[in-house]
Amino acid sequence: MIAFHRLLFSGTLVCIFLLNGARAQDIPLSRKGFVDVYYCYVKSSVAPADKSFTMKFGDPDNRHYGLPDRDALSNASTVVLRFRAWTILGELVTHPTLYWTINKQFLHGRKHRVEYAKISKYPDLVKRYEAIRPSALRAIVGMGLNPADTYAGGAYAWFKVSDNDVLIYPSGKSPMTFPTAPLNAGEGMIARSEEAPSGQWSFVSNFADFKPVEKPAEYCSPLRQATSAGDHAMIRVGEGQARKNGTSRDQNIWLELKWPLDAIDNIHDLFLQYENGVPPSPLEEADSTLAAESPRAYNGPGEWSEAYEDDLKGVTAFGDGNVYGLKANGRTIATFSRKVYANIQGFNNGGKFFALIARESATQKYPNYLINKRGVKQTINGHSEFQSVQQLEDGTIAADALLSPGEFQKKIAVRTFGGGQPQGIFNTLAEARNVIENYDPGQGTFYGSERDYSVDKVQRIILSPEMTVLSSKTMWKIR
């Protein structure tokens, strides 16, 4: 506890405060009102030491107070949650990012423990092991928000991080993330500027406690005035007086981290099958197949100079006459009728995969398909047809699978020339609907009548150029 005493020296009032116990951690903000801190399970090179909090789950014995599943962190060697927050026109904006690395010693599934050293002799099991990543994350992070003037008083704040706020990338990958859309401050932050009983608040651990407030701009005042974030808040208790307030057991995070437990158990089951020879591992099957094959006869000087089907290189897309197609080294690999398909596009991935656009399907017009370099349609996370496929600036590929069309529809007047039109993809239906309903065409040139706009529910799947799934989340897209 911090106690303040007033002393009068030569007509000057001096406020002195005494700190009992260890000095609390205090992180200066790079600019007033902009929080940028890291919550670390263990030390990590991605988290600057002068901006990092150690994750404190409340109970020093088992972390159960702030970690509903005690084993949630055992499958990772490092977990870092970077959290940024600021305000725009009185509304709250947050930007959480998850960094993590997989535990290379063992993974806990629902029923089994998989040891990396044991399965490492089977390459396919190693790939399965290293592809494991958390399936979902929810968190509530806490911190004291303190202004430059200690006696002006700060506040202790809890911030909510939901599934839709975070993209979970593979182990060790640097994620590409985006801020959330501005929202009512109470929906993402709970702030306490009054003194807590005995100087300690119970840590917020229920998403239902986050509710809209009537005056969000006023509610955000502690964040706008903050110049540091700390373990504790300096709460104003009187003129020239402030006391240190924190949380029970110094807890600063509640974390729910879920894993694909059945996929981990499946690695264990396959390992036992491989060990018993039923079925043989892919490596053993390949060795047996090669041993059984007889050498192929050589039939002429030009035979082996042709592209071999299993090692196609330099594949490109083309449009010619009545077909679109794929070709390599002057040889046509696959063709698609222009009566059925409207276009074919390549990606910057060395000719490994392409986007094939059909004219229509049973569910939508101009559906997109992902095909490999042999023209075979790919199924990604159970989806083979996509509303759109595009390569992003960082080289990843965004494939949007249509889940539910027309969840909101409205006809509005839009500016044909001289301004933008409603568009984009959003975390919630409310955000997308708000863009359409609040669209202001302003001054410009209008052609024709009003235009129908629709919000579709889609599954946005982010893929590597090699078609590895990096993330998948439900979103809402303006069409």
> Is the pLDDT assigned to residue 297 strictly greater than 70?
no
Q: Between 287 and 318, where is the model more confident?
A: 318
Residue linked to tokens 């370099």: 373
What is the DSSP pairing of strand 76-88 with strand 106-108? unpaired
Exposed e or buried b per residue across 148-166, where buried means at least 16 C-beta atoms within 10 angstroms of its C-beta: eebbebbbbbbbbbbeebb
**pLDDT at residue number 453:** 84
* Range with the poorest average pLDDT among 115-124, 152-161, 295-304, 422-431: 295-304
**pLDDT at residue number 15:** 36
How many angstroms separate the CA atoms of 227 and 302, rounded? 74
* Residue 84 burial (CB count, 10 A): 16
* Range with the poorest average pLDDT among 14-23, 73-82, 222-231: 14-23
Strand, coil or helix: 237: strand
Order across the sheet with 388-391: list the strands: 388-391, 397-412, 451-463, 469-478, 425-426
Q: Between 280 and 222, where is the model more confident?
A: 222
Under the banding of pLDDT at 50, 70 and 90, the label for residue 285 is low
Domain 311-378, CATH: 2.30.29
**pLDDT at residue number 174:** 80
Strand, coil or helix: 459: strand
Residue type, 425: I
Strand, coil or helix: 320: strand
* Residue 133 burial (CB count, 10 A): 21
Percentage of residues of the chain with pLDDT beyond 90: 48
Under the banding of pLDDT at 50, 70 and 90, the label for residue 443 is low
How many angstroms separate the CA atoms of 246 and 154, rounded? 12
Exposed e or buried b per residue across 322-342, where buried means at least 16 C-beta atoms within 10 angstroms of its C-beta: ebbbbbbeeeebbbbeeeebb
**pLDDT at residue number 287:** 61
**pLDDT at residue number 224:** 95
In 385-434 the beta strands, taken as DSSP E runs, fall at: 388-391, 397-412, 425-426
How many angstroms separate the CA atoms of 316 and 354, rounded? 9
**pLDDT at residue number 34:** 97
DSSP assigned state of 303: G
Query: pTM (2 decimals)?
Result: 0.57
Exposed e or buried b per residue across 404-413, where buried means at least 16 C-beta atoms within 10 angstroms of its C-beta: eeeebeeeee
So where are the chain's domains?
A: 2-258, 311-378, 396-479
How many angstroms separate the CA atoms of 29 and 96, rounded? 16
Are the CB atoms for 142 and 204 separated by under 8 Å? yes
**pLDDT at residue number 117:** 94
> Is the pLDDT assigned to residue 146 strictly greater than 70?
yes
* Range with the poorest average pLDDT among 3-12, 152-161, 406-415: 3-12
The rounded Cα 72 to chain-centroid distance in angstroms is: 18
Are the CB atoms for 254 and 66 separated by under 8 Å? yes
* Residue 219 burial (CB count, 10 A): 21
> Is the pLDDT assigned to residue 155 strictly greater than 80?
yes
CA angle 142, 37, 60 (to 5 degrees): 50
Write down the mean pLDDT value for the chain: 83
For residue 54, the surrounding DSSP H or E stretch is strand 52-54
Residue type, 456: D
Under the banding of pLDDT at 50, 70 and 90, the label for residue 39 is very high
**pLDDT at residue number 159:** 97
* Range with the poorest average pLDDT among 14-28, 171-185, 267-281: 14-28
**pLDDT at residue number 307:** 41
